[in-house]
């Protein structure tokens, strides 16, 4: 599946200088291949591209007081393997330490508070894949999508009590349920084709059968229609922008669409 993605982020810098880290670039790994990419800073400023071992890419730059804008566009080829019909539980003692950390509670995903709840709701089967599918269905069905009902301080437990939120909140709740069942889960930010209204999108990956598998608990968007741009234990470590300095922000513009296959006539 080929996706055309893009965004425009505008700022008015009110301090003498501001430093930016942008996590809006399409990742590159075995499941996502970058076909083309354009990055434009206005005004033009020195910038640094940073890439981690697992393909997460970030752009760092500094800009002086006044207007500043980042425009990004890319074409990404997405190829995610199908989830096996049945997945047995991974023994925590056998998980790599880099994976094991995603079974632990975090700032926005207090999985320790959900242990009994998660086993009562989702522990009726030993099939890990079915447990995660059931979590996704439960969150999508029981939650009400209400913009403005939560803020940057709202956690999975807050959302569990209110049953209201946006994609970020749906994702934190699903992650907390997974970790309560000892299923490694991590937060994912990305572009999503078919999302209404169009914006950046939050979903999550669960570690099943020795691989990270992508799930969307909000809109049930197929994994091959999502281009991943950030990953973390929760939204804290997967922020799309990190800014040092005082700025005011313009409305964010995001695009994502499936690129049709043009067959020769």
- Cα torsion angle, 230, 235, 240, 243, sign: negative
In the chain, CATH 3.10.620.30 sits at: 92-238
The answer to whether the CB of 233 falls within 8 A of the CB of 102 is: yes
pLDDT tens-digit readout, 157-175: 999 999 999 999 999 999 9
For the stretch 211-244, what's the b/e string if a residue is b when 16 or more beta carbons lie within 10 angstroms of its beta carbon?
ebbbbbbbbebebbbbbbbbbbbbbeebebbeee
At 264, is the pLDDT very low, low, confident or very high (cuts 50, 70, 90)? Answer: low
Report phi then psi at 263, rounded to 5. -85, 140
**Count of other CB atoms within 10 angstroms of residue 259:** 14
pLDDT attached to residue 111? 97
CA angle, 194 as apex, 40 and 5 as ends, to 5°? Answer: 15
pTM recorded for the entire structure: 0.93
Give the residue carrying structure tokens 């991974």.
90
Residue 87: pLDDT over 90? no
pLDDT recorded at residue 263? 62
In the chain, CATH 2.60.40.2250 covers: 2-78+242-258
Which of 79, 20, 56 lies closest to 187, judged by CA? 56
Name which CATH class applies to 2-78+242-258: mainly beta
Helix H or strand E encompassing 132: helix 128-142
Class of domain 92-238: alpha beta
| Confidence check: pLDDT of 43 > 60 | yes
Query: Other CB atoms closer than 10 Å to residue 63's CB: what's the count?
Result: 24
DSSP string computed for 193-261: TT-SS-S-EEEEEEEETTEEEEE-TTT---GGGEEEEEEESSGGGS-SEEEES-EEEPPPEEEEEEPPP
pLDDT above 90 (res 95): no
CA 191/CA 168 separation, integer angstroms: 13
């Amino acid at each position: 599946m080929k996706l055309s993605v893009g965004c425009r982020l505008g700022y008015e810098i009110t301090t003498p200088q501001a430093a930016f880290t942008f996590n809006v670039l399409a990742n590159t790994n075995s499941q996502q291949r970058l076909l083309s990419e354009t990055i434009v800073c206005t005004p033009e400023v020195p910038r640094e591209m940073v890439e981690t071992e697992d393909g997460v890419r970030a752009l760092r730059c500094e800009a002086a007081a006044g207007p500043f804008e980042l425009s990004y566009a890319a074409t990404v080829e997405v190829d995610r393997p199908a989830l096996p019909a049945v997945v047995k539980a991974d023994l925590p003692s056998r998980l790599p330490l880099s994976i094991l950390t995603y079974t632990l509670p975090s700032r926005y995903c207090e999985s320790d508070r959900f242990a009994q709840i998660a086993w009562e709701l989702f522990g009726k089967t030993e099939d890990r894949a079915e447990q995660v599918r059931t979590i996704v269905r439960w969150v999508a069905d029981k939650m009400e999508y209400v913009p403005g009902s939560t803020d940057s301080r709202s956690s999975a437990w807050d959302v569990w009590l209110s049953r209201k939120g946006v994609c970020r909140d749906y994702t934190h709740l699903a992650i907390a349920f997974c970790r309560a069942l000892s299923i490694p889960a991590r937060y994912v930010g990305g572009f999503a084709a078919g999302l209404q209204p169009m914006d950046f999108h939050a979903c999550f990956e669960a570690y099943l059968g020795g691989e990270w598998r992508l799930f969307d608990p909000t809109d049930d968007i197929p994994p091959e229609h999502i281009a991943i741009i950030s990953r973390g234990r929760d939204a804290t470590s997967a922020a799309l922008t990190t800014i040092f300095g005082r700025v005011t922000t313009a409305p964010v513009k995001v695009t994502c669409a499936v690129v049709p296959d043009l067959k020769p006539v």
